[in-house]
Amino acid sequence: MFYQKIIPIKPLQQYIRYFWVLEDCGDKAFKIIPDGSPGIIFQETPNLFLDKRNQLLPQLFLYGQTTLHSEQLAVGNFKNIGVYLQPTALKSIFNIDAYEFTDQLVPIDCLITEHFLEELLHTDTIKHKIDTISQFLLKRIQKIVHTSKKADYAVKLLQNGHPLKHIQTAMNLSERSLERLIRQYAGLSPKLFSRIIRFQSGLQCLRQKEICKLTDLAYQKEYFDQSHFIREFKAFTGLNPKQYVQQTREHVENFPEWKV
């Protein structure tokens, strides 16, 4: 198994958290876990990944915000390159409201007229492929110029755990206006986005083994009690925390290998 995380060039950092490269052998199942961000994935070799319905995934595709856990199966040795986007990046890049992509997986060819996949296939090294992806995204961003400082600010407040009422007051927005803004740019309701971010914060504590007792973790993350935390954890992973730790191997965050 080979995994690498690559920071984007400075002009793209507002839109991309990082690039990642994953190379591994096949016959492995992976879980897909909601993490509050959309992304793009390129498979160097096509027809190697199946979704939970045994449908082949496109060689180059965009995925929107994920609200439910799912699974993918690798049926052969693979090398994939991913673009882990910022929560509000989709509208800036493709000029389509983010909620149109929520829980969707869309071939890039359906969204653009450029022969982007062909360009990637004609590059040889990982560096050249990431440079090609970077230039493609830069051109689209410069062409569309569709950003929202309000949406970015609201998302940052949500990521930092601010209550919705506080955000509405701080931004002088009604409940409906805030909901419309976050759905348009981040693809989710503010409440669901907050739930996913809080779940991810708890999951990160489990990864780093910062807190030993689930009860303590639940109260620190402001769940009602341990049972509430476990229900939320299971809703987003399909497993309770103990099962997750025992039955997954997480080389890539939110894309763990499923041992069973």
Indicate the domain borders of the chain.
2-144
Regarding the domain delimited by 2-144, which CATH topology (the fold level of the hierarchy) does it fall under?
Jelly Rolls (2.60.120)
**pLDDT band for position 146 (50/70/90)?**
low
pTM above threshold 0.85: yes
Per-residue pLDDT tens for 30-54? Answer: 999 999 999 999 999 999 999 989 9
Per-residue pLDDT tens for 70-80? Answer: 999 999 999 99
Characterize 210-233 residue by residue with b for buried, 16 or more Cβ atoms within 10 angstroms of its Cβ, and e for exposed.
Answer: ebeebeebbeebebeebeebbebb
